[in-house]
Chain A
């Protein structure tokens, strides 16, 4: 089987899914990239049913006053809800055979990067992500409409403090810069005008319920990017999502996360060259409809996605989930589920806690002496506690190849193969070594 085909399938399974479950990569190689891509992209998602009831996510009511007797039970309940929703999401990423929709939800979480650190209400944060999940592979304009009225996002960006009489530009600016158009695609006047259209939103902090207070809203037309209209938050969001700048910006963000952060840094599609530029154009024209699934299909089939040059460093969540899938460890059923939350916090990427509204960094930012230490430690623990039978059953000399197929690695480097030699007789040690190797830390 050609190295190119192995690289293409490894990209597909690590970037568009969350890494292979045991046996998946070999099956992908057998059926070929195209069939595997179609299978993954059209897999949909399971019917989750009423998740909130199942895992106990509910409005906690208003925070009790300091020193009141109910404060500690309130805090305990809040912590439990946050824990449950964190583990539930990791479970979905780990457990589903084809977690494409969760992969996209994860992408959008980094895009609309809203953090529990400020929102501080489990139900509001859960609902925020649930809305992203609902539109994760759907219509981007609808996603924008829903987000601009989302209690979590509004509160995160002080939208409830923005009034006609005295504007607060936080939400307006990020809506233009980070969510729809990209930097330098608007003027300072546009920020001020868009802030007027967004003025008067109110959020009930503990429930996330949003309403618009007419007395605090701006009365009259506003002019945003050349169009004068009686914009409301929802019509503004749709209007922005349909601007030409958005048609470049969102594909650039998709290319940044799924193809190459190095090439598509800065959200500019046209900075790319050759094959990259051609691919960027294809993705951009697919996004003319603002439909996300067809855009992703074109991205995955584009030459840049399979091109040899586009390596990416796995982010901590990508690394951990891939390891857990391979080792068949479902987070909530692990003997110490909190371990995973602490681990991701130590690695700097805990779900529901993006570091800022710009989302998580990429590539070299994840590579440091600090993270190396944590990764090595986690690799020992997970390889010890997980199911290493996919290599344990195999003859020693065939283990390196079996390991590559099991973990979805295109090819081991010579130095890693040499390092394997001493560890061949010990499956846990071999596994720990493999998941800390440069070939696994980086999606080649």
Chain B
């Protein structure tokens, strides 16, 4: 695809997403508004994972941690009666960045299988932490008494919330596009394809990787803040390890190393889950083998079908 037709495709995609609320209203199907909003929130999370997984080659099996931290940041403030959106979302982003900094500082010193297992283990630790804090509902979680409040914007209005999510998604994709094509992004990608050579030309990958890891965590924390506003309910399940696995699949299904790939992947996976679960309660028995097959035979992902590999 040429750059121009890519821009046209992107504009078409955004227009399509923007058309969902009026269409859902016209056909009286609010369910789809809800579904697409949830998909877009996960697309933001997957896009942030793509920055470190797709471009940085850091296979994090713990990205759901930041969904949880972001969610809890909003939930905990709301629990103590603070509903200001800027404060809540600011804390979500800041706390996620901080947690990512700590987890990243330890895990990026390692690589390969160690990195996969450590990121998974730390996320599980946060999951158990969430379960054991009775004040915030423990295992059962807690209801969000009120959605985040912004002056002049009511998130209880489904359409307003939808367009806010869409705007953030576009913004995040643009941000990631700028990052991966910047000098900083070049170093991250170089370290992925050849670490020794990257060192040889004078870059120490560690601080660059850590910075990317923190950015990804912060963006995913924002997705967590959106998600808890979407579900209006907060449980430790935000950080369940299967969530991390799903996020990885969104990135892979979409196609590694393409900025919009995770969005396609999020749509593919969540729509598939929705279809299968509408069909049978035991939908995972079909999804599991499908995922195995996709890894074995569909390695380049959805974006690989549309875009050339060396973009």
The judgment on whether A and B are partners is no
Chain B positions within 8 Å of A, measured between CB atoms, are none
Chain A positions within 8 Å of B, measured between CB atoms, are none
